[in-house]
Amino acid sequence: MAKLKKAFFCSNCGYEASKWQGKCPACNQWNTFTEEIISKQKSSSTSFVAKAESHPNKLVEVNSEEKPRIILKDAELNRLMGGGIMPGSVVLLGGEPGIGKSTLLLQLLLQFHQEVLYVSGEESSLQIKDRASRISSTIPNTFYISAETDIGQIVKYANELKPKLLVIDSIQTLQHELIDSVPGSISQIRACCGELIKLAKTTDIPIFVIGHITKDGQIAGPKLLEHMVDVVLQFEGDHQYFLRLLRGVKNRFGNTNEIALYEMQQGGLNPVANPGEVFISGKDENLSGTATGIILEGVRPLLIESQALVSSAVYGTPQRSATGFDVKRLNMLLAVLEKRCGFKLGAKDVFLNIAGGFKINDTGSDLAVVMAILSSAADISIPAKTAFAAEIGLTGEVRPVTRLNQRISEAAKLGYKQLFVSKYAKNIDGDLPQSIEVVPISQINEAVARLFA
Ligand code: TYD
Ligand code: MG
């Protein structure tokens, strides 16, 4: 019997070492090494994909005629990928369990009326059929399904069937015959992903690979996985809400400034046609403690509603908590309000919630967050159809944001009447929509005086 070979792998970058080390010499992370059994036997060739004849070519002689992209029925996904899928590309789709990864890709294959193969190590064929019937009234007879988890078999099936699209659900369930560690371990993921990439490049079959996500939002397995594939998409959203946001994290064939929005419904995921206002709760009466901000997700302006609750702290230390917003940034904004603007919030509990259940990173939401807090503290509501788009600096000044014209147009399009922006923003009086009043301010107090007086 061949001797078992053990090795240590860095869970961050996939670096392999024969001995345990505290610090990874490749990526300098601490305590990332885990032990795994790697090979059952030594083999000269461990790849299932046949090697293509290759020799160096002159770059000028490389056939520059681009292979046509494969256009999907889902226009949102086409746009996100930079205008369809490149033949032979490998797309990694990450996201929390239950967010809708399997549904999205199943739907994609059901809409694609050519040979497709869905490999699922997660669910049985019956479960998938059941789900497919919920999504689509007819199942095309070019749709193939397999519950195989052995990568060698999958490569064999793909070579026989030559599908136009291949989905792997998920990379964490795949197993390489020559590697002894459990499915989902670093060496398994690395080897299986390597095989899939080779398969895609030699056959031109585009492959979608689902990847699980860890507690802190990273795609489980080595970071290496993200380096290996061509496109990384991230599926986000809150389970309690029906909205899902698909974000391009890496794209070798397009830019990553795009997002796609979907609604999870009974019959699967539907693209949202007019995403501008989907995060607004649409209440009728005006309540204190809410303010609308205009943020940019990639290149797309979105209106978001920030809700704040300010109340006297019952216990000694006031609580500050935020959902969908960085707590550190919230603390910074509260400190600015206290020190620079003279609002006494030091002994207050402050709770902040961004409606819609997704996390915002655009600092252009600062002014809206601050106004929601002040509105709650004073218990005065902000007039309807009022929005904010500015960042707050440490000195309390109201600072300009990028692509302001685009944000103004979006607010005007959605019927907003008044938009507070920074006085220092350049060319805000260019070609602006007539229906909206743009109010330039340099201090938070100016907005307070105008709205709460
Ligand atoms: P799923 O695709 O299984 O998530 P993942 O593969 O990311 O783990 O999504 C499962 C959730 O989607 C489940 O909670 C039910 C919901 N869902 C719908 O609301 N409508 C539908 O038509 C389908 C198929 C699923
Ligand atoms: Mg799934």
**Percent of the chain predicted with pLDDT > 90:** 45
> What is the pTM (predicted TM-score) of this model?
0.78
- Angle at alpha carbon of residue 326, lines to 321 and 327, rounded to 5°: 35
pLDDT above 70 coverage of the chain, percent? 91
Whose alpha carbon is nearest atom 10 of ligand 1?
98
* Nearest ligand to the CA atom of 105: 1
Higher pLDDT, 279 or 451: 451
Give me the pLDDT at residue 4, please: 65
Quote the ligand 1 centre to 268 CA distance (angstroms): 7
pLDDT band at 210 (very low <50, low <70, confident <90, very high): very high
- The model's confidence at residue 214, banded by pLDDT at 50, 70 and 90, is low
pLDDT level of residue 219 (50, 70, 90 thresholds):
low
Nearest CA to ligand 1 atom 14: 98
Q: Cα torsion for 97, 98, 103, 104, to the nearest 10°?
A: -60
Quote the ligand 1 centre to 305 CA distance (angstroms).
26
Q: How many whole angstroms separate alpha carbon 137 and alpha carbon 274?
A: 26
Q: Omega of the bond prior to 442 within 30 degrees of 0, cis?
A: no
CA of 137 to the centre of ligand 2 (A): 21
Ligand nearest to the CA of 93: 1
Q: Which residues line ligand 1 (CB under 6 A)?
A: 95, 97-103, 131, 134-135, 264, 266-268
pLDDT tens profile 387-445: 999 999 999 899 999 889 889 988 888 889 999 999 998 867 667 788 899 999 999 99
Type of residue numbered 195: E
Q: What is the pLDDT of residue 282?
A: 63
Closest atom of ligand 1 to 268 CA is 22
Mean local confidence (pLDDT), 193-207:
94
69 alpha carbon to ligand 1 midpoint, in Å? 28
DSSP-based three-state secondary structure for 449: helix
Euclidean distance between CA atoms 443 and 227, whole angstroms: 44
Residue closest by Cα to atom 13 of ligand 1: 98
Q: Which ligand is nearest to the CA of 95?
A: 1
Please give the annotated binding residues for ATP, written as ranges.
Answer: 95-102
What is the 289 CA–ligand 2 centroid distance (Å)? Answer: 38
Q: How far is the CA of 103 from the centre of ligand 1 (A)?
A: 6
- Please, which pLDDT band fits residue 209 given cuts at 50, 70 and 90? very high
- The residue whose C-alpha atom lies closest to atom 1 belonging to ligand 1 is 100
CB atoms within 10 A of CB 397: 18
Index of the ligand 1 atom closest to the CA of residue 101: 7
Please, are residues 93 and 167 in contact by the beta-carbon 8 Å criterion? no
Q: How many CB atoms lie within 10 A of CB 339?
A: 13
What band does 44 get if pLDDT is binned at 50, 70 and 90? very low
The DSSP call for residue 60 is: G
Please state, as a whole number, how many other Cβ atoms lie within 10 Å of the Cβ of residue 335.
Answer: 13
Question: Which residue has better confidence, 411 or 357?
Answer: 411
Mutate to test the pocket of ligand 1, among 99, 103, 233 (most ligand atoms within 8 A of CB): 103
Residue 5's beta-bridge partner residues? none
- Residue with CA at minimum distance from ligand 1 atom 8: 98
For the chain, give the longest Cα–Cα distance: 85
- Amino acid identity of residue 387, one-letter, is A
Which residues line the annotated binding site? 95-102
Whole-angstrom Cα distance, residue 419 to residue 395? 22
